[in-house]
Structure 1
Amino acid sequence: MVSIQKFLRYWLITVILSLFTTFAFADETTNPVGYWNTMSDKTNTVTSVVQIWEEQNVLKAKVVKIIPANGEEANPVCSKCKGDNYNKPIAGMTILWDMVPTGNNKWGKGQLLDPKTGNVYRGSMTLSQDGNQIKLKGTSGMFSKTKTWVRTNKPE
């Protein structure tokens, strides 16, 4: 009788510890919430830092820092945006909204704003297995483009 109680106690402790370990590991690699570097297609250098957060079970993202290339404006505005974003600073602007989970490490049915063109696209994204890259896909009609964001620390 005592050995069964010991077995059950050890078994329960093992299960609880396994669950904590699983949730801690899963959170690091399957959660896109955090800070991400956006990259230039031409130079493969960092152009901005974006913060993704979750609000009411949907993901949103905003530009938190612009990293201008030589000769580029340090505080650009969205001169091609329409509506409330017209001529507003890109830093601080929400550029991704309404992303909902659609599968394992996948989100979609959202919207993406390209501040350079002012265009809004249907968006989806896939988080890499290690949780350090996002493939972000914007679609308009039959055309689509995919960008890669790389996880980073909070900018200074």
Structure 2
Amino acid sequence: MKKVIQGFVISSILAVSSLSAFAASPIVGYWKSMDDRTGEPLSIVQIEQEKNGTYSGTIVYRYANQGGHTLTTCAKCPEPYKDKPLVGLKILTGFTELAKKPGYYVNGKVVDAKSGGVYKGKANVSKNGKRLNMRGYVGVSLLGRSNVWVRHDSANP
């Protein structure tokens, strides 16, 4: 009887710990954004869940490009982003996870610091949780650009 109780306790602990591992949404964490044309790393973005249940992303690190220059402000962006420092800038807002499709996020807004554009956005996390397929578009999703972000361990490069 003692072994049965011990087995139950251990099974319960494992079940609760595995549930807590999946409690956070798969999009939450640090992501390295990559230039879809050159393959260069651009930024490390931290995605968090807001109090209202939506997801947002803030640049926490900016890489220098191949020429050694680092874009530091959102010079081409419209207000309220215009001339704001990129590190600390919230470039993703309003993403909501689809209830029937975990790992898929819609209704977001994406700021492209390089072009200054503000786009509608959607995203989905790969099954292994290591890639984020980000799409920014105007009007309909067909009129847009996608790029892949890679999961990163921390805010440090």
Query: What TM-score range do you get, normalising by the shorter chain?
Result: 0.7 to 0.9
- Cα distance in 2, alignment partners of residues 82 and 123 from structure 1: 17
Percent identity over the alignment is: 25
- Cα distance in 2, alignment partners of residues 16 and 49 from structure 1: 37
For the 8 Å contact 2:36–2:148, the answer to whether it is kept is no
- Cα distance in 1, alignment partners of residues 3 and 83 from structure 2: 68
Unpaired runs of at least 5, structure 1: none
Residue matched to 1:151: 151
The CA deviation string for residues 80-124 of structure 1, in whole angstroms up to 9 with x for no partner, is 111121111212111001111112111111111111122111111
Tell me how many residue pairs correspond in the alignment.
Answer: 151
Residue matched to 2:107: 109
Residue matched to 1:135: 133
- Cα distance in 2, alignment partners of residues 63 and 118 from structure 1: 15
2:70 is paired with a residue whose SS is coil
Residue matched to 2:18: 22
Segments ≥4 residues shifted beyond 4 Å = 9-12
- Which of 1 and 2 has greater Rg? 1
Deviates more, 1:44-53 or 1:63-72: 63-72
Residue matched to 1:62: 58
Deviates more, 1:43-52 or 1:59-68: 43-52
Q: Which amino acid aligns with 1:130?
A: N
Q: Which has the higher helix share?
A: 1
Residue matched to 1:48: 43
For the 8 Å contact 1:36–1:152, the answer to whether it is kept is yes
Unpaired runs of at least 5, structure 2: none
For the 8 Å contact 1:75–1:89, the answer to whether it is kept is no
